[in-house]
Structure 1
């Protein structure tokens, strides 16, 4: 092992592709480690487009870091046969370059947090875990809010987040006099209604290389790569979001709960993946949507309905996950044990709604909330 260095190594995970990440901000000159890992790509059978998105976005982000002056060690999938996990990658960097301190922003998954927290003992490296400041509620804030409550309701947590951020507030009261406009967001699409075209991106050279690799190594996973068009850089994500603001947000609220055959996206924002891997900032997204209401470009029911998904549901589910884990992962309220049928993954069924929802997921790696909750989710129950 080389002589130890006091300079920390920053580990950046595949869903932490944000230039303002807390670990990067804490050590502006520290080198970075990023890795495409077999364990991460295969611990569940991820959709082929999900693997493509994350690996391509990681490669683009690592280049951006290098162009900003960062030293980056980027380990591509299977280039080092003995490196399968983050533990393997960190151990290799310790042996090769003599690191004795590791800095990272907290993982978003319990299993990864357990792995990271073991390294001080198993690898003998100092580990500093920083909070993920891209989220708007800390774990402690959620725990304090939940303490003593018999039921944890998203709606009431959402109101606290509105007060905290000031989004859609008029002093201490909600804009428009009510907190939630969900009752206004259940209209059917008119007969013959045509939704606007969406801004997508043809795969660039980096993405095409990843697609070839994914087809070779993960071609038996669910989904296809034929329609891959997701943003893989912050610039692409911002452009897609700006296009949605102009052409979709005004009618998002009215038709938020609608479904239409052969119209996978309708008026939905398609920002979930970009938010989850760090290409978009959730508070900035919410403020941009709020600004459309104040400028008269979008109605309140559309703006509130969208902001609730991020400020309410996204923050609430994250808080609940960390509050209830690890037991939450094994919970089975209805004591169900039957396996799902094969057509739940293939879409090969005469049930029209199931066929459409699963088919869209296979083609686009996407299903909006009504498809997930009311169709595939209800069937699974």
Structure 2
């Protein structure tokens, strides 16, 4: 039976069972489409990385003598629409059966479900064979429970996959979670090896994007592209991380520094999110390095902190996505309506923390979780930005951003737009937290130590108290907010008024700051 198999750009799983079967009557189809480059404005490095990874995967298919149709962006037969392309191919190649891997984005999932309903030939959907859970496993795990606490799900996953478990289902080392050990400011003395580099020349793709008029954000050095876009690249980065960075990953995973783009982070998220690497092989490789004897010895806190992000947080967020979509994409519990400032696209601001975090993202299509959560996300929430604008920016700016992982982190963890489904309280702070975890406050135009609404005080300080005052009705009954709300209540009214006045000016005129 002549079969057409669709592979999307984030489904580059070399180990999928499809590739263990007889390929005689199979045609694989992949396409670079304006449908995907244009639904939000993406970072140019993100578009380049996906196109490079897709092209390499198609070459891998062809090297094995298997048949494929690949539409580059400017291919003469490319309609730029997935469904139109599929209908055209089915007719031209007299296809008798259509097969696809279940998409991880609700948008594409619905598009393909509707398409299959219209088909007059056989069709079948398959699992992508990447994640350690099914779409609804998280929902089933928490069935009947009031709160979906990630920690309990994570512990269950540790037991289920026998990851760092001893004896009668007890955690190795005696603790499930070493998060308290993972909150150190980088001391500037602990050496950070340079990231594993590739220095690829990608002018063919950047020229294509320019020629076709694809609108992008961010910057790129087309002669020195530095992201893993093949399976071997991903394995190289993984091995490099284990050899040189894992030893201090947990210590400094929350740290931020003006001189360091990546610190001890792995830079594996793109390779994982387009499925060049599987979560289980990443975890097993890290555990293998941990168990090896040698110098330096790696502390369990470094390893547990990394595994928690993949085995716990990543699977949990995907489960939240499939449990609450499509309604999740419109949640706005705090009723925030403001727009993002222009400096999110330029990096031009006097606030040092935002300038460095945003420019890192514009330069590298990257930011680690604390930069996303406690700098750019914190500012967006404190300025009461509409989460739809925040979604659009986060989905576009980061190389690893695919909606299933982006929107749950943005609307849930970062913007508290879901009202506490993911996080029990909003992750907001004054400038003190940023100063604690970084050197951003040194050399800033504003002083983090000034906390009385002065003109040269850190804007985060006034924004923080203004936010609590503006949203206090939303936090009634939230026990985790009790202490801060009590402090707000005790604040001198004149001081609070100063904070509110300053905050309102910051929100109304972000270009001044």
When normalised by structure 2's length, the TM-score is: 0.70
Deviations 1:34-64 (A, max 9, x none): 1111101110101100000000110011001
User: More displaced, 72-81 or 36-45?
Assistant: 72-81
Change (3 A) 1:127 1:337: farther
- Measure the CA separation in 1 of the matches of 2:265 and 2:242: 10
Alignment-derived partner of residue 301 in structure 2: 301
Structure 2 gaps, min length 5: 382-513
**Alpha-carbon spacing, 1:93–1:86, altered in 2? closer, same or farther (3 Å):** same
* Distance in structure 1 (CA, Å) of the matches to 2:32 and 2:121: 22
What pairs with 1:151-300 in structure 2 (closer than 5 Å)?
151-171=147-167, 172-204=169-201, 207-217=202-212, 220-226=215-221, 228-296=225-293, 297-300=297-300
Q: Measured at CA, do residues 27 and 118 of structure 1 come closer, stay the same or move farther in structure 2, by a change above 3 Å?
A: farther
Which residue of the partner structure matches residue 3 of structure 1?
none
SS in 2 for 1:118: helix
The answer to whether the 8 A contact 1:57-1:233 is kept is: yes
Partner of residue 41 from structure 1, selected from 31, 37, 41:
37
Structure-1 residue corresponding to 2:354: 354
Conserved in 1, the CA contact under 8 Å of 2:38 and 2:214? no
* Superposed displacement of residue 141, structure 1: 2.1
Q: Deviations over 1:194-245 (max 9, x none)?
A: 41111111215xx331132234446742111116310111111111211111
- Specify the alignment match of 2:463 in structure 1: none
* Inter-partner Cα distance in structure 2 for 1:35 and 1:219: 15
Distance 1:22 1:117, change over 3 A: farther
Task: String of CA shifts for 1:152-199, please: whole Å, max 9, x gaps.
Answer: 111111111111111111131110111110100111111455411111
Q: Secondary structure at the match of 1:321?
A: helix
Alpha-carbon distance change, 358 to 27 in structure 1, aligned in 2, over 3 angstroms:
farther
Where does the alignment leave 5 or more consecutive residues of structure 1 unmatched? 1-5
> Is the contact made by 1:32 and 1:71 (CA closer than 8 Å) also made in structure 2?
yes
Give 3-state SS (helix, strand or coil) of 1:139's partner: coil
Q: Which has the higher contact order (CA 8 A, sep 6+)?
A: 1
Alignment of 1:62-211 (within 5 A): 62-80=58-76, 83-171=79-167, 172-204=169-201, 207-211=202-206
Structure 1 residues 45-54 or 188-197, which shifts more? Answer: 188-197
Mapped to 2, the partners of 1:164 and 1:329 lie a distance apart of 31
- Residue 310 of structure 2 is matched in structure 1 by 310
Residues 232-275 of structure 1, C-alpha deviations (whole Å, 9 max, x = no match) = 11111111211111110001111111111031100001000000
State the TM-score, normalizing by the size of structure 1.
Answer: 0.94
Aligned CA-pair RMSD = 1.7
Tell me how far 1:24 sits from its aligned partner: 3.9
Contact 1:10 1:24 (8 Å CA) reproduced? no
Q: How many angstroms apart in 1 are the aligned matches of 2:309 and 2:213? A: 32
